[in-house]
Amino acid sequence: MTRAEDLEKRLELLVKFGGSISTETHIHKLIELIADQVKTILACDRCTVFVIDRHTNELWSQVAQGMQHTEIRIPYGRGIAGHVAATGQVMNITDAYGDAHFNQDTDRLTGYRTQTILAVPLRNINGRIIGVFEVINKLAGAFNKDDEGILQLLGSIASSAIENAQLYESLSKSQLETIYRLAVTAEYRDQQDTAIHLRHISEYSALLAESVGLPQKEIENIRYASPLHDIGKVGIADAILLKPGKLTADEFEEMKKHTLYGAKILCNAESTLLQIACKIAGSHHEKYDGTGYPARLRGEQIPIYARIVSVVDVFDALCMPRVYKPKWEPGRALEYIKGESGKAFDPMVVDAFERVYDQVLKIYSLSDAKTTVIPGITREINRHNY
Ligand code: C2E
Ligand code: SIN
Ligand code: SIN
Ligand code: FE
């Protein structure tokens, strides 16, 4: 094969690469998928994808050991991979055992003999190093400049997929489920249909985030963080929360504290997702014109997540029955939202809401039908969605 033919073939594989990895969100599977394809594209015997663990300052990866996958961890700065992560340099090594940086432990673990290594840093869109790509033992000869360029290109494609998967992993599925259950429990006292309301908040918020043009990662952030917006209601007494009529001014002052309680519950959390949930819980009753609570923030001072959730929250609260009011028709709720553009709500978010309104309505009618037709089991059905 000529160099031109070879590059053309690789280019073809490269195009496929981006598409096939972009949908895998489970990080271990993703790394396996990437390693497998990179191995083919680079025509080498192995590929190891190392990811930096910021909490422990280690690089971790998984290596095949017979049929089993074993996690390996390398301290930042150690070994070839650690050196590349620390310096950001590409390393092209023709004799691994003759290189001072090489660490033979992995070979000992897997019974493998590393000869040639090409290692490049994995950088995210901001240029920050998030890991290292290592390809090992090229099938013919040593790794060359073409290989270096291609591996770097593959790395830049893989980085966003890896970062995305890391977000999902930062909270495991069971943790997410626990959080949803907590949210449902917290609100269950005042709303029979809490599970539906929370799913609406989640789905509408994600639609809206997409419509205002937030990046994929932020869309997912808001999808998972938004249902926690009213978690602070756990701190509100039944006498107020469940009051079947209009609240007195004092009672409403007490009610307003659910934003502060919610922020307090969530703000010490380490995960990005819960940090965002904290912002939403704390600011979802702020108003664009500065007349909201608890801090009377205005305009862009209000986090975009909260500006989105406030529209969604009011829309869905209006469309759901409450102990203090019957439910509204969605069309009337939409008119109300539009009327509050520039007052309670960010006009940009209201415009985005109008654009996705048809999709919102579809999701709404789905659950509306469920509640009226089979009220007895609605709650169970919806629970499984969390
Ligand atoms: P929520 O029921 O989830 O309502 C969320 C937000 O939707 C409200 O925030 C408000 O902006 C909007 N909303 C809900 N129902 C109506 C309505 O009938 N008319 C209008 N114009 N807007 C409505 P807000 O007002 O800050 O209330 C926060 C929370 O305080 C409510 O959450 C609810 O739990 C409680 N709350 C508010 N007013 C009353 C009330 O009169 N009686 C009782 N029992 N609880 C109330
Ligand atoms: C190293 O990065 O130094 C060795 C680890 C490996 O090749 O898998
Ligand atoms: C109501 O008027 O029934 C409560 C709605 C609100 O105070 O925002
Ligand atoms: Fe609220």
Q: Is residue 173 part of a domain?
A: no
Report the atom number in ligand 3 closest to the C-alpha of 324: 3
CA distances from 2 to 7, 11, 257, 309 (A): 9, 14, 71, 57
Same domain, 266 and 370: yes
Which residues line ion ligand 4, judged by CB < 5 Å?
Answer: 230
pLDDT along the chain (386 residues), means of 10: 80 79 79 90 93 87 72 88 94 96 89 95 88 94 93 88 74 64 66 76 94 89 90 87 91 96 83 88 98 98 98 95 89 98 98 97 76 31 29
- Among residues 220, 211, 201, the alpha carbon closest in space to that of 273 is found at 220
Q: In angstroms, rounded to a whole number, what is the distance separating the alpha carbons of residues 209 and 211?
A: 5
What pLDDT does residue 323 have?
80
What SS3 state is found at 215? coil
Same domain, 117 and 158: yes
Residue type, 361: L
Residue from 84, 89, 114 to probe ligand 2 pocket by mutation (most atoms less than 8 Å from CB): 114
Residues spanned by the domain of 201: 188-383
**Boundary (domain end) residue, out of 133, 167, 201:** 167
**Boundary (domain end) residue, out of 113, 133, 167:** 167
For 330-365, b/e burial (b = at least 16 CB within 10 A) is beebbeebeebbeebbbebbbebbeebbeebeebbe
Measured in degrees and rounded to the nearest 5, phi and psi for residue 255 equal: -55, -40
Kindly list the protein residues whose Cβ atom lies closer than 6 A to any atom of ligand 3: 246, 324-325
CATH of the domain at 27: 3.30.450.40
Q: Is residue 59 part of a domain?
A: yes
Same domain, 149 and 198: no
- Active-site residues, by number, are 233
Same domain, 149 and 213: no
- Among residues 336, 328, 321, the alpha carbon closest in space to that of 244 is found at 321
Same domain, 198 and 157: no
What pLDDT does residue 161 have?
85
Same domain, 240 and 379: yes
Which residue lies with its CA nearest to atom 4 of ligand 2? 103
What pLDDT does residue 350 have?
98
Same domain, 219 and 356: yes
- 58-65: strand order across its sheet: 68-75, 58-65, 44-53, 129-138, 117-123, 91-93
Q: How many CA atoms lie within 13 A of 112 on its CB side?
A: 20
Tell me, using a 6 A CB cutoff, whether residue 134 lines ligand 2.
Answer: yes
Which residue lies with its CA nearest to atom 1 of ligand 3? 246
Same domain, 53 and 194: no
Same domain, 72 and 199: no
pTM of the model: 0.60
**Count of structural domains within the chain:** 2
Q: Is residue 216 part of a domain?
A: yes
Q: Is residue 177 part of a domain?
A: no
Tell me, using a 6 A CB cutoff, whether residue 61 lines ligand 2.
Answer: no
Same domain, 46 and 110: yes
- Among residues 26, 19, 34, the alpha carbon closest in space to that of 168 is found at 26
Kindly list the protein residues whose Cβ atom lies closer than 6 A to any atom of ligand 1: 190, 243, 246-247, 255, 285, 313-314, 317-318, 322-325
Q: Is residue 175 part of a domain?
A: no
